[in-house]
């Protein structure tokens, strides 16, 4: 008997992260928030393993840091910068979500009568403000990482 392929429109899986709704500015931010959130969890585990080497000996720590620090390898420096970008974006977009989920900047609630209203246009100015603030930190990070703006040797 032929096996029927089932399709669950409400459970589109990982591809639904991209196409599960109107592809607008907020959906791009959602996708980036999820990717950066998962990347931060991945980094957290890697970070604990790396820092754990200090428990062996000071020499072991020096050796590990000598190999995987951004000071010694420009490729690693670039990935460290990507991590900083992920933190900046996740932090500012996360603050945006916390404000919106608490009910700020979305207007007064109204009865859900057809045609349904959306607060998306109302929220968008706040969204832009948060993204502009994040961009200022991104520009700062470029100076700190690649133009000698950091205070390390």
Enumerate binding residues for ligand HEM (CB under 6 A): 33-34, 37-38, 40-41, 44, 90-91, 94-95, 97-98, 101
Length of the chain: 153
For residues 10 and 58, which CB has a smaller minimum distance to ligand HEM in the complex? 10
Helix (H, G, I), strand (E, B) or coil at 108: coil
What is the Cα–Cα distance from 93 to 142, expressed in whole angstroms?
A: 20
Spatial CA neighbour of 20 closest among 31, 28, 12, 30: 12
- Determine contact, residues 82/74, Cβ cutoff 8 Å: no
- Determine contact, residues 53/60, Cβ cutoff 8 Å: yes
Minimum Å gap between C-beta 3 and ligand HEM is 32
For residues 19 and 56, which CB has a smaller minimum distance to ligand HEM in the complex? 19
Minimum Å gap between C-beta 34 and ligand HEM is 3
Which residue's C-beta sits nearest to ligand HEM? 94
Both tokens assigned to 76: 């690693």
Minimum Å gap between C-beta 103 and ligand HEM is 13
CA distances from 52 to 46, 55, 64, 92, 143 (A): 10, 6, 10, 30, 30
For residues 97 and 138, which CB has a smaller minimum distance to ligand HEM in the complex? 97
For residues 35 and 77, which CB has a smaller minimum distance to ligand HEM in the complex? 35
Minimum Å gap between C-beta 81 and ligand HEM is 17
Minimum Å gap between C-beta 105 and ligand HEM is 15
């Amino acid at each position: 008997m032929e096996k029927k392929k089932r399709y669950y429109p409400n459970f589109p899986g990982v591809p639904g992260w991209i196409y599960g709704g109107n592809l607008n500015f907020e959906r791009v931010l959602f996708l980036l928030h999820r990717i950066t959130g998962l990347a931060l969890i991945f980094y957290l585990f890697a970070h604990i393993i790396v820092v754990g080497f200090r428990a062996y000996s000071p020499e072991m720590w020096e050796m590990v840091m000598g190999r995987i620090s951004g000071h010694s390898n420009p490729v690693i420096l670039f990935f460290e910068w990507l991590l900083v970008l992920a933190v900046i974006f996740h932090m500012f977009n996360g603050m945006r979500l916390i404000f919106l989920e608490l009910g700020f900047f979305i207007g007064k609630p109204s009865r859900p009568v057809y045609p349904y209203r959306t607060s998306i246009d109302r929220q968008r100015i706040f969204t832009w403000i948060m993204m502009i603030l994040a961009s200022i930190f991104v520009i700062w990070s470029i100076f700190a990482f690649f133009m000698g703006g950091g205070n390390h040797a």
